[in-house]
Amino acid sequence: MLASVLGDRVMEVVAAAVIDQGRLLVVSKKAAPAVFYLPGGKPEAGESQEATLVRELGEELGVAPRDMDLLGRVEDVAALEGVPMCMTVFTASLTGPPKPAAELAALGWTDGRDAYEPRLAPAVRNQVLPLLVRAALLPGDHGI
Ligand SMILES: Nc1nc2c([nH]c(=O)n2[C@H]2C[C@H](O)[C@@H](COP(=O)(O)OP(=O)(O)OP(=O)(O)O)O2)c(=O)[nH]1
């Protein structure tokens, strides 16, 4: 909805939802170490979404995504720039253990209901987590 109103002024981001043992991989960057979000980033001109993810995961984690599958497109405010953002999220596994690059401040795994929850970027907390719970990829409240 946001994207249809604001068009080109919406920041495009592509990110990976990597889940292992019921927990989601999140990273924070040295530029904003208290904010955790999905590995990924902005596409370069003419770059496909899959190529963006391969490049960003290589740069940030030293690994490649495997078995990419579209989870959905979500809209929220970009955690760092504070501008409208549209993020395309792929579920994926990794070709090996993630090795955080120098630009990262931290790497962690969250079930969405732990100490990371208040530090998650709005798009992850408000949009991506509910999608993952609905897809039974993360534990939910089970109607409680
Ligand atoms: N990668 C990623 N970015 C997110 C998420 N949620 C969210 O608000 N963002 C925001 C943070 C930033 O404002 C923007 C993406 O910035 P970035 O710094 O990760 O992207 P990038 O590597 O391409 O950036 P740059 O340093 O090349 O400018 O989107 C998310 O889950 N993953």
What are the extents of the domains in the chain? 7-134
* Torsion sign (Cα): 81, 69, 97, 126: positive
Give the global pTM. 0.93
Look-up: residue for tokens 């939802």? Answer: 17
- Minimum CA distance residue for ligand 1 atom 29: 78
Which residue CA neighbors atom 22 of ligand 1 most closely? 41
Give tens-digit pLDDT for 92-126: 999 999 999 999 999 999 999 999 999 999 999 99
CA 23 to ligand 1 centroid distance, Å: 20
Burial class from Cβ neighbours inside 10 Å (0-12, 13-18, 19+) for residue 20 reads exposed
Q: State residue 108 phi and psi, 5-degree precision.
A: -155, 175
Is the beta carbon of 89 within 6 A of some atom in ligand 1? no
Ligand 1 contacts CB of residue 13 (under 6 A): yes
Q: What is the pLDDT of residues 32-51, one digit of tens each?
A: 999 999 999 999 999 999 99
| CATH architecture observed for domain 7-134 | Alpha-Beta Complex (3.90)
